[in-house]
Amino acid sequence: MHDNHLKLMQLAINEAIKAGQNDEVPVGAALVAESGKILSLAHNSTINLSDPTAHAEILALRMAAKKLLNYRLLNTTLYVTVEPCIMCMGAIIHARVSRIVFGTNDPRWGAAGSIYNFTNDPRLNHQPEVIGGICEHECRRLIQNFFRSKRNSTMI
């Protein structure tokens, strides 16, 4: 199972790389059905779409829901390079995604345990399983390098 997580996280990492190449925060996501079928791939596009909700997770959920003609994405796993934020976690829970597999935690916005933990709140009607730390170093390096280059370019 762990090898499968690595392989599927690589799809999300490839999406994150695309985001970075588009000058977006490099976060990528892949939504996968229980059968292993890839339902959607997405990356952050907030700047290019002028849409503050265009996070990788939200875009992946939207694409899959359209494909399946159902907003409930039961028996799916969302692979995402960075721990989901509050907004994304709300959408993930609302869509009934079964499992979230993320790469690196987000100490500023994380909603799967770093800052907030919406994944095991008994007041919510759905609690997805969470697995963190898959390809953690590679995912963290993408984010760190992106923001380091932004800081360096503003200092010049």
Q: What distance in Å separates the CA atoms of residue 150 and residue 156, rounded to the nearest whole number?
A: 10
Question: In this predicted structure, what is the pLDDT of residue 150?
Answer: 80
Domain 1-118 class? Answer: alpha beta
Q: Residue 139: what residue type?
A: C
Task: Respond yes or no: is residue 138 known to be catalytic.
Answer: no
pLDDT at 156 over 90: no
Q: What distance in Å separates the CA atoms of residue 82 and residue 139, rounded to the nearest whole number?
A: 7
**Overall average pLDDT of the 42-49 stretch:** 98
* pTM > 0.85: yes or no: yes
Closest CA to 76 of 31, 119, 112: 31
71-85 burial, b at 16+ Cβ within 10 Å, e below that, comes to eebeebbbbbbbbbb
Which among 57, 83, 129, 136 is annotated as catalytic?
Answer: 57
**Overall average pLDDT of the 125-131 stretch:** 95
